[in-house]
Amino acid sequence: MKFRKIFIRGSIITVFFVFLVMPNVVSAETITFNETNFLISTTTTNNTPLTSDPASAPAIPDDSTFTLAPNATNTYFSNLQGKFERYNFVLPTGFSNLTFSFRTSVNDLFALYVNGTVVAIQTSSTQTNFEEPLPGFFMNSAGTATDTSGKLEYLLTSGMLPLFQSGANELTLFGRDTILFGGFGPTFGEIIYNTNEPPPPNGVPEPATMLLLGLGLVGMAGVRRFKK
C-alpha cells in the first residue's frame, strides 16, 4: 500500500513536469509582396517638394482613398505629379525577430512610410536607380537598417523595428515625377518574423516527455510485479 501511494504521487509529479517541458512552438513566417499587391490612392499632388529631410514628405491621404488596383494608367505620373500607393499586412500577437527588406524603382523620387512614419527617401534621379540593386534597404532583427543599394538620400537606420505592430500594418509609398512623366515601377519586399505559440493540446511530445512516459510505464510494470 505504501509503495502504491508513492507511485501515485510520483505519477502526478511526472504528469505535471510533462506540461512544463512541453515547449512553445516557434516557427518562421514570411510575407512577400511586389508592385501588384499595392492599392493606388485617388489623391494626387502637384510639384510637392521632397528632400532628404523626412519632414518634407507629404501627408498621407485618408485610408479610404486607397481603392485603385494598379494598372498601366494609374501607376503613371504626369508632369510633376505625385501619387501614393499602399500595402496592408497583418502581424500576429507576440511576433519576434522581425526582419524587413525593401527595394523599388520609382521614376523619379520616392518616400516610404511604415505605419505613417517616413523610413526611406530617394531624391536623386539617375539612370542607375533603374538598375539592380534597386534603391532599397535591409533591416535586421535587432532593428538596424542598412542602405544595401547606396542610392538612398535618407534611411531610418535605427528605430524602425518598433513601428511594426501586432495586428494591421501599412506600408505607404509616395512617388513623384520631376520632369515630363514618371511612375511606380517594380517593387520587392519581404518581411520575416517568428511566431511563438503554445503547443497544441495533442502536440507531439519532445524526447524528454517520451522518456518520462517510459519511466511511468516501467513503474506500472513494477507495481504489477510487486502485487504478484
3-state SS, the chain, equals CHHHHHHHHHHHHHHHHHHHHCCCEEEEEEEEEEHHHCEEEEEEEECCCCCCCHHHCCCCCCHHHEEECCCCCCCEECCCEEEEEEEEEEECCCCEEEEEEEEEEEECEEEEEECCEEEEEECCCCHHHHCCCCCEEEECCCCCEECCCCCCCEECCCCCHHHCCCEEEEEEEEEECCCCCEEEEEEEEEEEEEEEECCCCCCCCCHHHHHHHHHHHHHHHHHHHHHC
pLDDT score recorded for residue 3 = 46
Per-residue pLDDT of the chain (228 residues; tens, 9 = 90+): 554 554 445 444 443 444 444 556 789 999 999 999 999 999 999 999 999 999 999 999 999 999 999 999 999 999 999 999 999 999 999 999 999 999 999 999 999 999 999 999 999 989 999 999 999 999 999 999 999 999 999 999 999 999 999 999 999 999 999 988 999 999 999 999 999 866 566 555 555 544 444 545 445 444 455 454
* Distance between CA atoms of residues 106 and 178, nearest Å: 11
pLDDT at 6: 45
pTM of the model: 0.79
Query: What was the pLDDT predicted at 196?
Result: 81
